Amino acid sequence: MSTILVNTLTGTSTAGSIVVTGEGNSTTTNLQQGLAKAWAFTAADGASISDSFNISSLGDTAAGQQTLNFNNDFGSANYSVVASQGTGNQHDVVMSTKAAGTQLIKIYDPDAGAFQDSLINAVAHGDLA
């Protein structure tokens, strides 16, 4: 076994593209493409971030409507965000309007018939600018 100690990995042909071999040794995948570009764990009051990566701030747009503001933006609005809520039973989590630098997430309580603040776990994949 050999170990390389290094602080930065950069592609030779394309700086932002490194291919790694998959676990089964028969396929490859792009390292940069597979890395999460942002994630967030927000507080149940919808007003603060408990921990995050590449998130500059949380916009408390309205009750149950939180906007993730990315520190480093994506290259376009074509990226993938999945999220779950951790507060209410049968609450709906919906990805709403997005831009290269922002993603609005809405949490809806069908019993109350209204949006409701909640703990949110979210992770974003795609190409950074």
What residues have CB less than 8 Å from 76, skipping those under 6 apart?
100, 127
CB 44 → another protein: shortest distance, Å?
19
Which 49-108 residues touch another protein, going by CB under 8 A? Answer: 78-84, 92-98, 108
What residues have CB less than 8 Å from 124, skipping those under 6 apart?
36, 37, 38, 39, 68, 70, 74, 79, 80, 81, 103
Q: Which is nearer to another protein, 23 or 51 (CB)?
A: 23
With CB under 8 A as the contact rule, which of the stretches 29-37, 44-52, 55-63, 65-73 interacts with another protein? Answer: 29-37
Quick one: residue 7, left, alpha or beta (phi over 0 = left, psi -120 to 50 = alpha)? alpha
CB 73 → another protein: shortest distance, Å?
14
Residues making contact with another protein (CB under 8 A): 1-2, 4-14, 17-31, 33-36, 78-84, 92-98, 108, 110, 123, 125-127
